[in-house]
Protein backbone atom coordinates (compact mmCIF):
# COMPACT_ATOMS: atom_id res chain seq x y z
CA UNK A 1 0.00 0.00 0.00
CA UNK A 2 1.19 3.51 -0.79
CA UNK A 3 1.74 5.74 2.19
CA UNK A 4 2.35 9.28 0.97
CA UNK A 5 2.10 12.01 3.61
CA UNK A 6 2.99 15.08 1.55
CA UNK A 7 2.08 15.32 -2.13
CA UNK A 8 2.04 17.85 -4.93
CA UNK A 9 -0.99 17.51 -7.21
CA UNK A 10 -0.77 18.76 -10.79
CA UNK A 11 -4.23 19.91 -11.86
CA UNK A 12 -4.60 20.93 -15.49
CA UNK A 13 -6.45 24.06 -16.49
CA UNK A 14 -8.52 21.97 -18.90
CA UNK A 15 -9.81 19.93 -15.96
CA UNK A 16 -11.37 23.08 -14.52
CA UNK A 17 -13.45 23.61 -17.69
CA UNK A 18 -15.70 20.63 -17.01
CA UNK A 19 -18.00 20.38 -20.02
CA UNK A 20 -17.44 24.02 -20.98
CA UNK A 21 -15.23 25.06 -23.90
CA UNK A 22 -13.54 27.88 -21.99
CA UNK A 23 -13.10 29.23 -18.48
CA UNK A 24 -14.01 27.68 -15.13
CA UNK A 25 -16.82 25.22 -14.50
CA UNK A 26 -18.01 25.93 -10.95
CA UNK A 27 -19.19 22.40 -10.18
CA UNK A 28 -15.90 20.89 -11.35
CA UNK A 29 -13.92 23.30 -9.20
CA UNK A 30 -16.05 22.46 -6.16
CA UNK A 31 -15.60 18.76 -6.84
CA UNK A 32 -11.81 19.01 -6.88
CA UNK A 33 -11.92 21.13 -3.72
CA UNK A 34 -13.96 18.41 -2.01
CA UNK A 35 -11.37 15.79 -2.98
CA UNK A 36 -8.55 17.97 -1.62
CA UNK A 37 -10.50 18.51 1.62
CA UNK A 38 -10.65 14.71 2.04
CA UNK A 39 -6.85 14.64 2.02
CA UNK A 40 -6.57 17.41 4.59
CA UNK A 41 -9.08 15.67 6.86
CA UNK A 42 -6.75 12.64 6.85
CA UNK A 43 -3.71 14.69 7.82
CA UNK A 44 -2.13 14.59 4.37
CA UNK A 45 -0.25 17.74 3.34
CA UNK A 46 -1.23 18.63 -0.24
CA UNK A 47 0.23 21.26 -2.49
CA UNK A 48 -1.45 22.11 -5.79
CA UNK A 49 -0.01 23.37 -9.07
CA UNK A 50 -2.71 24.48 -11.51
CA UNK A 51 -2.31 24.94 -15.25
CA UNK A 52 -3.90 27.73 -17.27
CA UNK A 53 -4.93 26.07 -20.53
CA UNK A 54 -8.63 26.74 -19.91
CA UNK A 55 -7.89 30.46 -20.24
CA UNK A 56 -4.67 30.91 -22.20
CA UNK A 57 -1.81 28.70 -23.29
CA UNK A 58 1.51 30.32 -24.12
CA UNK A 59 2.39 27.98 -26.99
CA UNK A 60 -0.94 28.63 -28.68
CA UNK A 61 -0.39 32.34 -28.26
CA UNK A 62 3.02 32.06 -29.89
CA UNK A 63 1.39 30.21 -32.78
CA UNK A 64 -1.06 33.09 -33.18
CA UNK A 65 1.64 35.71 -33.48
CA UNK A 66 2.36 36.59 -29.85
CA UNK A 67 5.97 36.82 -28.76
CA UNK A 68 6.71 33.49 -26.99
CA UNK A 69 7.87 35.16 -23.79
CA UNK A 70 4.79 37.39 -23.64
CA UNK A 71 2.58 34.42 -24.43
CA UNK A 72 4.06 32.39 -21.59
CA UNK A 73 3.67 35.33 -19.22
CA UNK A 74 -0.01 35.54 -20.17
CA UNK A 75 -0.28 31.82 -19.46
CA UNK A 76 1.25 32.39 -16.02
CA UNK A 77 -1.42 34.98 -15.27
CA UNK A 78 -4.07 32.45 -16.31
CA UNK A 79 -2.74 30.03 -13.68
CA UNK A 80 -3.11 32.74 -11.05
CA UNK A 81 -6.78 33.23 -11.97
CA UNK A 82 -7.36 29.48 -11.64
CA UNK A 83 -5.47 29.32 -8.36
CA UNK A 84 -7.51 32.13 -6.81
CA UNK A 85 -10.68 30.37 -7.91
CA UNK A 86 -9.55 27.09 -6.34
CA UNK A 87 -8.58 28.91 -3.15
CA UNK A 88 -12.09 30.36 -2.92
CA UNK A 89 -13.63 26.90 -3.48
CA UNK A 90 -11.45 25.39 -0.75
CA UNK A 91 -12.16 28.18 1.71
CA UNK A 92 -15.89 27.73 1.10
CA UNK A 93 -15.37 24.18 2.39
CA UNK A 94 -13.48 25.32 5.48
CA UNK A 95 -9.98 24.47 4.23
CA UNK A 96 -7.10 26.77 5.16
CA UNK A 97 -5.40 27.75 1.92
CA UNK A 98 -2.54 29.90 0.72
CA UNK A 99 -1.78 30.95 -2.84
CA UNK A 100 1.85 31.55 -3.75
CA UNK A 101 3.12 32.98 -7.00
CA UNK A 102 6.51 32.53 -8.66
CA UNK A 103 6.56 36.25 -9.49
CA UNK A 104 5.60 38.99 -7.05
CA UNK A 105 1.89 39.68 -7.17
CA UNK A 106 0.92 41.01 -3.76
CA UNK A 107 -1.80 41.57 -2.59
CA UNK A 108 -3.36 38.87 -4.78
CA UNK A 109 -1.06 36.17 -3.45
CA UNK A 110 2.15 35.65 -1.50
CA UNK A 111 5.53 35.47 -3.19
CA UNK A 112 6.75 31.86 -3.18
CA UNK A 113 9.56 31.11 -0.74
CA UNK A 114 10.29 27.45 -0.07
CA UNK A 115 10.66 27.79 3.69
CA UNK A 116 7.37 29.69 4.02
CA UNK A 117 5.56 27.12 1.87
CA UNK A 118 6.87 24.17 3.88
CA UNK A 119 5.94 25.86 7.15
CA UNK A 120 2.42 26.49 5.84
CA UNK A 121 2.02 22.80 4.95
CA UNK A 122 3.12 21.81 8.43
CA UNK A 123 0.53 24.20 9.88
CA UNK A 124 -2.28 22.50 7.97
CA UNK A 125 -2.61 24.86 5.00
CA UNK A 126 -3.11 23.71 1.44
CA UNK A 127 -0.52 25.41 -0.76
CA UNK A 128 -1.54 26.46 -4.25
CA UNK A 129 1.50 27.53 -6.26
CA UNK A 130 0.76 29.64 -9.33
CA UNK A 131 2.61 31.32 -12.21
CA UNK A 132 4.59 28.20 -13.09
CA UNK A 133 8.30 28.55 -12.38
CA UNK A 134 8.11 32.27 -13.15
CA UNK A 135 10.08 31.72 -16.34
CA UNK A 136 9.04 31.38 -19.99
CA UNK A 137 9.64 28.12 -21.85
CA UNK A 138 8.82 26.03 -18.76
CA UNK A 139 5.50 24.23 -18.41
CA UNK A 140 3.37 23.86 -15.31
CA UNK A 141 4.38 20.16 -15.33
CA UNK A 142 7.94 21.35 -14.76
CA UNK A 143 6.73 23.73 -12.06
CA UNK A 144 4.91 20.87 -10.31
CA UNK A 145 8.04 18.70 -10.33
CA UNK A 146 10.20 21.56 -9.09
CA UNK A 147 7.84 22.50 -6.24
CA UNK A 148 7.45 18.85 -5.24
CA UNK A 149 11.21 18.54 -4.87
CA UNK A 150 11.57 21.87 -3.06
CA UNK A 151 8.81 21.03 -0.58
CA UNK A 152 10.14 17.52 0.02
CA UNK A 153 6.99 15.82 -1.23
CA UNK A 154 6.72 12.04 -1.15
CA UNK A 155 5.17 11.93 -4.63
CA UNK A 156 3.89 14.00 -7.52
CA UNK A 157 0.29 13.22 -8.49
CA UNK A 158 -0.79 14.07 -12.02
CA UNK A 159 -4.53 14.12 -12.64
CA UNK A 160 -5.60 13.28 -16.19
CA UNK A 161 -8.71 12.19 -18.10
CA UNK A 162 -7.67 8.51 -18.04
CA UNK A 163 -6.78 6.16 -15.21
CA UNK A 164 -3.03 6.04 -15.64
CA UNK A 165 -0.34 5.41 -18.25
CA UNK A 166 -1.14 3.31 -21.32
CA UNK A 167 0.90 1.86 -24.16
CA UNK A 168 -1.19 4.02 -26.53
CA UNK A 169 -3.89 6.62 -26.20
CA UNK A 170 -6.80 4.60 -24.72
CA UNK A 171 -9.31 7.10 -26.09
CA UNK A 172 -8.14 6.12 -29.59
CA UNK A 173 -7.29 2.46 -29.02
CA UNK A 174 -9.51 0.69 -26.45
CA UNK A 175 -7.10 -2.27 -26.52
CA UNK A 176 -4.17 -0.20 -25.28
CA UNK A 177 -2.29 -1.78 -22.37
CA UNK A 178 -2.62 -0.17 -18.94
CA UNK A 179 0.46 -0.11 -16.69
CA UNK A 180 -0.07 -0.48 -12.95
CA UNK A 181 3.59 0.37 -12.38
CA UNK A 182 6.47 1.30 -14.64
CA UNK A 183 10.02 2.57 -14.20
CA UNK A 184 11.24 5.89 -15.53
CA UNK A 185 13.60 4.12 -17.94
CA UNK A 186 10.82 1.88 -19.27
CA UNK A 187 8.62 4.91 -19.87
CA UNK A 188 11.42 6.53 -21.87
CA UNK A 189 12.16 3.38 -23.88
CA UNK A 190 8.49 2.92 -24.74
CA UNK A 191 8.12 6.65 -25.51
CA UNK A 192 5.19 7.02 -23.13
CA UNK A 193 4.15 10.62 -22.62
CA UNK A 194 3.85 10.73 -18.83
CA UNK A 195 4.82 14.41 -18.46
CA UNK A 196 6.93 16.81 -20.44
CA UNK A 197 10.55 15.68 -20.52
CA UNK A 198 11.91 18.44 -18.29
CA UNK A 199 9.48 17.52 -15.51
CA UNK A 200 10.04 13.82 -16.12
CA UNK A 201 13.83 14.18 -15.90
CA UNK A 202 13.59 16.17 -12.67
CA UNK A 203 11.53 13.41 -11.08
CA UNK A 204 13.71 10.61 -12.43
CA UNK A 205 17.01 12.17 -11.42
CA UNK A 206 15.78 12.97 -7.91
CA UNK A 207 13.89 9.70 -7.30
CA UNK A 208 10.49 11.35 -6.97
CA UNK A 209 7.67 8.92 -7.86
CA UNK A 210 4.83 10.06 -10.11
CA UNK A 211 1.27 8.76 -9.83
CA UNK A 212 -0.89 9.30 -12.92
CA UNK A 213 -4.62 8.90 -12.22
CA UNK A 214 -8.08 9.87 -13.46
CA UNK A 215 -8.92 13.05 -11.60
CA UNK A 216 -12.51 13.15 -12.85
CA UNK A 217 -13.63 10.14 -10.80
CA UNK A 218 -14.84 11.18 -7.32
CA UNK A 219 -12.48 10.16 -4.51
CA UNK A 220 -9.58 9.28 -6.82
CA UNK A 221 -7.10 11.68 -5.22
CA UNK A 222 -7.40 9.89 -1.90
CA UNK A 223 -7.30 6.45 -3.53
CA UNK A 224 -4.24 7.39 -5.62
CA UNK A 225 -2.38 8.19 -2.40
CA UNK A 226 -3.32 4.99 -0.57
CA UNK A 227 -4.11 2.22 -3.05
CA UNK A 228 -1.54 0.49 -5.25
CA UNK A 229 -3.99 -0.46 -8.01
CA UNK A 230 -5.21 3.10 -8.66
CA UNK A 231 -3.63 4.80 -11.65
CA UNK A 232 -0.03 4.15 -12.63
CA UNK A 233 3.01 4.50 -10.38
CA UNK A 234 6.10 5.70 -12.24
CA UNK A 235 9.17 5.06 -10.08
Question: Does 228 map to a domain?
Answer: yes
Distance of alpha carbon 51 from alpha carbon 111, whole angstroms: 18
| Average per-residue pLDDT for the chain | 94
Domain span at residue 196 reads 6-234
106 in any annotated domain: yes
Q: Is 1 within the bounds of a domain?
A: no
Torsion, Cα 68 193 132 84, to 10 degrees, reads 110
Decide: 154 and 6 in contact? Cβ < 8 Å. Answer: yes
In a domain, 79, yes or no: yes
pLDDT on residue 59: 66
The pTM of this model reads 0.94
Report how many domains make up the chain: 1
Alpha-helical (H) ranges within the chain are 26-41, 58-63, 68-92, 114-122, 140-150, 184-189, 197-205, 220-226
Say how far apart CA 90 and CA 75 lie, in whole Å: 23
Q: What is the CATH number of the domain that holds 203?
A: 3.40.1160.10
Residues 8-35 pLDDT 10s:
999 999 999 988 889 999 999 999 999 9
Mean pLDDT of 125-154: 97
pLDDT of residue 104 exceeding 70, the answer is yes
- Report helix, strand or coil for 189: helix
Q: What is the pLDDT of residue 21?
A: 86
User: Is residue 143 assigned to a domain?
Assistant: yes
Report pLDDT for 66: 77
Average pLDDT over residues 59-76: 83
Amino acid sequence: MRNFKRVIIKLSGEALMGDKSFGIHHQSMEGYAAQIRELVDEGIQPGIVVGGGNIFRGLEGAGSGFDRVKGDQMGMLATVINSLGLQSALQNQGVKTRVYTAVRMEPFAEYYVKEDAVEALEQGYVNIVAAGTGNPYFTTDSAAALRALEMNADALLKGTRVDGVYSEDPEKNPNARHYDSITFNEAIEKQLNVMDMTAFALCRDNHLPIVVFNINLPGQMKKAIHQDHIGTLVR
